[in-house]
Amino acid sequence: MQKNRLKRMPKSVHKPIQAILKAVKKELEGVDKQLDKLVNSVAEWRQKRDLLLSAKGVGNVLAYTLMSELPEMCDIVYARFCLFL
């Protein structure tokens, strides 16, 4: 959102806003790494994530959102998948 606003802002505020955007991006990268590490440390979570990622159009953001916001849905999908193994 701030990137869009940056175009309309006076040039004098571009540098501070870019610094904030850079800091936020770095923080998000750290959170992503921590989340990946946590999911990889639990076999069941890792398997659920991998199953979700195998679906076309599903990336890490959607997979983690589904796992956290709709865990019961992930349990059903995971259970049905395991029946076919």
Q: What pLDDT does 30 receive? A: 96
pLDDT confidence of residue 40 = 95
pTM (two decimals): 0.67
pLDDT score at 78: 64
Contact 44, 34 (CB under 8 A): no
- Give residue-wise pLDDT tens across range 33-81: 999 999 999 998 898 899 889 888 989 998 898 888 887 776 666 666 6
Question: How high is the pLDDT of residue 29?
Answer: 95
The pLDDT of residue 69 is 83
